[in-house]
Amino acid sequence: NYLRISPFSSFLFSLAPWIPVVGLEIHAQISSNSKLFSGSQVQFAAPPNSLVSFFDASLPGTLPVLNRRCVEAAVMTGLALNCSINKKSLFDRKHYFYADLPAGYQITQQRVPIAVNGSLSYSLCIDNKMSQMVTKTVRIKQIQLEQDSGKSLHDDTRCQTLVDLNRAGVGLMEVVMEPDMCCGEEAAAAVRELQLILQTLGSSQAVMAEGQLRVDANVSVHHPGEPYGVRTEVKNINSIRFLAKAVDYEIQRQIEELENGGTILNETRAFDSKLGCTVPMRDKEGKQDYRFMPEPNLPPLILYDTKSLPANVNHQQVINIDWIQERLPDLPSVKREKLVEQYGILPEHSFTLLNEDGLAEFFESVVKQTQMKPKKVIGWILNDLLSYLKQHSLTVKERSV
């Protein structure tokens, strides 16, 4: 796909292919009633600055209190992504100076994150007819708990910046993937699977359009047998479709740049969805110094498993990893396998059924109530129902039949 023949190289070298490398960093907003370290509510699209406690506004003398729900959501997510959960993790301050971060630092987990060394399997179609699927795996380097920032709104007509702190301090899980992917389609399929897993767990609503799932794509290219190339980081990607486009554009741009004798800068770029291209982000130039330091106001985060649980412990005060593991719901991959096994449908159809919220349940209830052959029901769903819903901009849950 990415074979390019440089006009200047002799034919001896003219077939050296490029290998693209893609690694994702994903921020998922934790689905929780309150923020990571304060009791303020978490709500999308509330009136500006209506969900801000003294701590969120960084008033002197306020202290963080860790939200148990956020920790449980991160443990659940780590387990679902086959991570090792660290029984002791640490909080750190990462400094940067921006109007929507009133403390001047973000509390994150730089030294020891809550979960490490996991993996995510995802599938994608390798032909246009959606009938041949391959399953791939991307390694998860780590998951860390951290605070979200507020939002800056730039009012160009009045030349001013407005700050909304409703989002300041909302709990995030940052999922860092190893650079194991090689194109936009793979990145898109991996993020889609992650999104389904988060929604199944209920650990994040993971709606990209609402900013609950934010994906930064790191991209580089190199020749076989050579070390990885310099990478760029692409931000501002707000849908899965745009993720695939942004990554493929950036791969192509880097190849053309290098083939024309240019170099790739280690820079942050933004995806412009209207133009379909990536552009340098001016304010991110130069290497930042975050001056990491341990967060002095939070003790290490200690988790237990059934073996290490102290006797006579108050269960409200500790988190038992095994207890969470035993209560994990069926993940999408398991649900698909069960659908294939129970109803004899094709694997690719099990993907379609899980792709829409409520569709698998609807399929099962139709089969049960009508006693029709599952394959017939699938045919009706694919050929009639889905196109009807699309035409009328309805979701499966909004249908009236």
* Nearest partner of 229 among 15, 2, 21, judged by Cα: 21
Shortest approach of ligand ADP to residue 186 CB, angstroms? 12
Q: Considering only residues 12-41, where is the footprint of ligand ADP by CB under 6 A? A: 21-25
Residue nearest to ligand ADP (CB): 23
Q: Cβ(196)–Cβ(332) under 8 Å?
A: yes
Residue of 220, 236, 254, 333 that binds ligand ADP (CB under 6 A): 220
Shortest approach of ligand ADP to residue 246 CB, angstroms? 13
* DSSP label at residue 170: -
Shortest approach of ligand ADP to residue 48 CB, angstroms? 32
Shortest approach of ligand ADP to residue 25 CB, angstroms? 5
Residue 214 as a binder of ligand ADP (CB under 6 A): the answer is no
Shortest approach of ligand ADP to residue 81 CB, angstroms? 14
d(C-alpha 378, C-alpha 346), whole Å: 10
d(C-alpha 261, C-alpha 102), whole Å: 44
250: three-class secondary structure by DSSP: helix
Shortest approach of ligand ADP to residue 178 CB, angstroms? 5
Total number of residues binding ligand ADP (CB under 6 A)? 14
Nearer to ligand ADP, 165 or 182 (CB): 182
Shortest approach of ligand ADP to residue 24 CB, angstroms? 6
Nearer to ligand ADP, 113 or 179 (CB): 179
What is the β-pairing status of strands 84-85 and 213-222? unpaired
Residue 333 as a binder of ligand ADP (CB under 6 A): the answer is no
Q: Cβ(68)–Cβ(209) under 8 Å?
A: no
* Nearest partner of 106 among 89, 91, 126, 128, judged by Cα: 91
Nearer to ligand ADP, 23 or 169 (CB): 23
60: three-class secondary structure by DSSP: coil
Nearer to ligand ADP, 228 or 388 (CB): 228
**How many of the other CB atoms lie within 10 Å of CB of 74?**
30
Q: Considering only residues 159-188, where is the footprint of ligand ADP by CB under 6 A? A: 176-179
With a CB cutoff of 8 Å and minimum separation 6, the contacts of 310 are 304
Give Dmax (Cα) for the chain.
76
285: three-class secondary structure by DSSP: coil
Residue of 228, 262, 291, 387 that binds ligand ADP (CB under 6 A): 228
Residues near ligand ADP (CB under 6 A):
21-25, 176-179, 218-220, 228, 231
